[in-house]
A and B are shown apart, each in its own frame.
Chain A
Amino acid sequence: MICEGNLLLGLDAYEIQQYQQNRYPCFFVDYITEACPGKYAKGYKNFTYNEWFFPAHFADEPNVPGFVQIETLTQVFLMTFLTFPENKGKKTGFISVKDARFHKKIVPGDRLDIEAELSFFRRGLAKGISRGYVKGDFCCSAELEIAIPEIMVQFRPKNNPEKIVSGGGITTK
């Protein structure tokens, strides 16, 4: 893929947190190797036994819960449109998750490499697909629709003022 805009390379934990507001213990991306605003992002997360969900899921067979995989796919996907200068550091919310698929069990010690593509971004609504791989093997994917409520609310239809723009529990009146 060719990036025409301002390509960002090698974002570490601190720099990623300048772009998105997810924080410990719900911060599921370690490193962004490449991010092209408006197009794609690539990054990874390491899984280690020293994470809060492993002792509970499951005690005799630790593996990564599906919701954590979706959240990891999403947090890399966020970097495709939060990297626009005007969106930097804004809060986001889910609109829909379609066709989430989990092909392989992920265990502590694995590294999940993620590639996210943005296909649509207008009026604070982003659509795209995000895929995860472990050692090159396809592991999980999801079609995502994510909103930036702060921007989306500006485009609320005037004839229906009662309608509430929501996303992931963030409600903007």
Chain B
Amino acid sequence: MQDEAFALNEVELMRYQPNRYPFLLIDRVTEVVPGKYAKGYKNLTNNEWWIPIHFPGNPNMPGCLQIEAMAQMLTVALTSLDGMEGKVVHSYKHMGTFHREVRPGDRLDMESEVLSFRHGLCKGAVKGYVDGELVCELETVVIIPDIFKKLRPKGNK
């Protein structure tokens, strides 16, 4: 396992992240230590597909997409481990808290932390900031089906 932190730009990120346009909700990873934490950000702009519909006259980032962006940031901390490149990660359980609206023109900084990772199941916590102010939080459990399914007891499907 690598212990040194490294950064990823958009192209490098796509090696680790199977999500693609229009559902890749991270722009840059500034710091990642595989299996431990990942930090990075997403820029918000008026030229995104949800802006005209959520909502006309008051554009802001939908909560479900904030959850997705934060979960993707946690994923980066897992898929950057050796042999996990580009693996698909599924949500298992999310609990999100939203403190204020995230609007076009903001930069959503995210910090994800892996609390535990065993048998393809990961518990994690992610926080989102705009200009240093906490705007959203996520407590989550995600699974990597490739690994998780192999370890599931055979008699209990």
Interface residues of A (CB under 8 A from B): 12-14, 23-25, 27-31, 44-52, 54-55, 60-62, 107-111
Contacts and interface: CB of A to CB of B under 8 A. Distances in A.
Nearest to B45: A46
Nearest to B47: A51
Residue in A23, A54, A61, A108 with the greatest tally of chain B CB atoms within 10 Å: A108
A46 B26 CA distance: 13
Interface of B: 9-11, 20-28, 41-49, 51-52, 57-59, 103-107
**Interface residues of chain B: helix, strand, loop or mixed (majority):** loop
Given A31-B105, A46-B107, A49-B24, A108 B10 contact: yes
Contacts of A60: 11
A23 B53 CA distance: 12
Nearest to A44: B105
A46 B58 contact: no
Contacts of B103: 12-13
29 contacts: A12-B103, A13-B46, A13-B51, A14-B57, A14-B58, A14-B59, A28-B46, A30-B105, A31-B104, A45-B45, A46-B44, A46-B45, A48-B27, A48-B44, A49-B10, A49-B27, A50-B23, A50-B24, A51-B45, A51-B47, A51-B48, A52-B47, A55-B21, A61-B11, A62-B10, A62-B11, A109-B43, A110-B43, A111-B107
A62 B24 CA distance: 13
A25 B22 CA distance: 14
**Interface residues of chain A: helix, strand, loop or mixed (majority):** loop
A13 B25 CA distance: 20
A24 B48 CA distance: 8
B58 A111 contact: no
Nearest to B56: A14
Nearest to B60: A13
A28 B25 CA distance: 19
B45 A109 contact: no
B11 A30 contact: no
A30 B45 contact: yes
